[in-house]
Amino acid sequence: MKNTAIVASSTAIIKGRKQKYMYFRKSWRFHLMLLPAVLAALVFNYAPLPGIVMAFQNFKPWLGFAQSEWVGWDNFQMVFTMKDSIQVLWNTLLISCLKIIFGLAVPVAFALMLNEIRQIGLKRSIQTMVYLPHFMSWVILGGILLDVLSLQGIVNQALTFFQVEPIMFLGDGDWFRITVIVSDLWKEFGFSAIVFLAALSGINPEYYEASEIDGAGRWKQTLYITLPSMLPIMAVVFTLSLGNVLNANFDQIYNLINPLVLQQGDIIDTFVFRNFKGGQYSLAAAVGLFKSLVSFILISGGYYCAYRWTNYRVF
C-alpha cells in the first residue's frame, strides 16, 4: 500500500516511456494553469518597469519616454536638497517604525492574554469584535475618526466629562502622529494576533504537563515555555515587517491628513501623490524609485534572514 503511494507520487523519477509521456502531459497543463497569472504579472507588474527611466528624465506626458529630455541625477539631487523631503523622510521613518514596534508587541500580548481564556464562546466573541476594524477601509474609518475625534466629538465629550481639556487629535502635529499610530494599532492588532494564536495552539501540551509536575505556576510556564516557543514566529513577523520601513500607510494618512498637520504628517507616499497630481511626474517618480529600491533591499534582506534563521520560506 505504502509502496504504491511512493511510486505514484514520484512521477518524475519513474523511468519508462509511458510514464515520461504522462509527466509531460501533466507539465504542459501546469504551464497552462499558470498562464493567466503570468500574463497579469507581465502586463501590470513587469511592463511598467522600463517606465522607471522617467526618474532620470524631465518627463512630459505628451512627449513620452523617447522624446523627453534626459537630466541624469538632477531629480534626485533636487529632492534631497529640498527641506521638505528630509522632513517627509523623517516623518515616514518615525511613524512606520513606531507602527512596526507596537504592531508586534501588542498583538503578541493580546494573543497571550486571549490564550488564557478557557470559555470558547467568550473567546470567539472577543475575536469577532477585535477582527472587525481590520475589514473596514481607511475611507470608512477616516470618516468615523473625523467624526468621533472632532472637537465636539464623542471622545472629547468623554474627556470633558473627566475634566480634561479637549484635544485637537487631527489638527495638532504631535497629536496627529499619535492618532495615526494608535488608530492603525486599533485597526490591526486583533487580526495580526491570528498568526500568534496559531503558534500558541501548536505548542505541545506535554511541556506544560511536565512543568506542572516540577511545580511551575502559570507565570513561570509563560516565561519559560510559551514565550520561547513563540520566538521563531515573532522573529519572522518582525524581519518581514522591516520591509515596511518606508511604508507608513498611504490610505490612512491620505484620509486623515489636513493642511494643519502637513508638516508633521506628510509621508513619502502622500508626497509622491501630491507631486504627481501637481504634474511633477519625474520628481514624483524619482522619490518613488528611491522608495522602491530601499524597500527592495529591506524586503529581500528580511526574507533572506527569515530563511537563514528560522527556515521560513515565502514560497
Partner 1 sequence: MYYKNPSYKAFYYCNVFILLIVSILCVLPMLHILAVSFSGKSAAEGNLVTFLPIDFNLDSYSETLSNGNFLNAIRVSVMRTLIGTAVSMAVTILAAFPLSKSGYEFKGRSLYVWFFLFIMIFGAGLIPHYILIQKVNLIGSFWVYILPHALNIWNIILMMNFFRNIPKELDEAAIMDGAGSFGILLKIYLPVSMPAIATLSLFSMVGQWNNWFDGMLYMSSPDQWPLATLLQTIIVALDLSKTGIDFEQLELLSNRSVKAAQIFIAMLPILAVYPFLQRYFVKGIVLGAVKE
Binders of partner 1 among residues 110 to 129 (CB under 8 A) are 110, 113-114, 116-118, 122, 125-129
Site string for partner 1, 180-219 (x = CB under 8 A): ------x---x---xx-xxx--x---------x----xx-
Q: Binding of partner 1 at residue 314 (CB under 8 A)? A: yes
Q: Binding of partner 1 at residue 5 (CB under 8 A)? A: yes
Asked whether the CA dihedral 65, 55, 37, 135 is positive or negative, the reply is negative
Residue 245 DSSP code: T
User: Distance from CA of residue 250 to its chain's centroid?
Assistant: 12
Q: Which three cell numbers stand for residue 199?
A: 503558534
Beta bridge partners of 57: 70
Q: Which three cell numbers stand for residue 153?
A: 466629538
E-only strand ranges, the chain: 57-58, 69-70
Spatial separation of the C-alpha atoms in residues 82 and 22, rounded to whole Å:
63
Asked whether the CA dihedral 267, 269, 272, 278 is positive or negative, the reply is negative
Distance of closest approach, residue 97 Cβ to partner 1, in angstroms: 20
Distance of closest approach, residue 314 Cβ to partner 1, in angstroms: 6
Of 224 and 296, which CB lies nearer to partner 1 in the complex structure? 296
Region 68-107 residues binding partner 1, contact defined as CB under 8 A: none
Does residue 207 contact residue 216 with C-beta atoms inside 8 Å?
no
Region 17-56 residues binding partner 1, contact defined as CB under 8 A: 25-27, 29-31, 33-34, 36-38, 40-41, 43-52, 54
Of 94 and 144, which CB lies nearer to partner 1 in the complex structure? 144
Pick the stretch among 2-10, 68-76, 80-88, 89-97 that binds partner 1 (CB under 8 A): 2-10
Does residue 37 contact residue 52 with C-beta atoms inside 8 Å?
no
Region 246-265 residues binding partner 1, contact defined as CB under 8 A: 251, 255
Q: Which three cell numbers stand for residue 64?
A: 513620452
Site string for partner 1, 135-164 (x = CB under 8 A): xxx-xx-xxxxxxx---xxx--x-------
Q: Binding of partner 1 at residue 273 (CB under 8 A)? A: yes
Give Rg (Cα) of the chain: 26
Distance of closest approach, residue 172 Cβ to partner 1, in angstroms: 19
Pick the stretch among 75-83, 93-101, 166-174, 282-290 that binds partner 1 (CB under 8 A): 282-290
Q: Which three cell numbers stand for residue 312?
A: 521560513
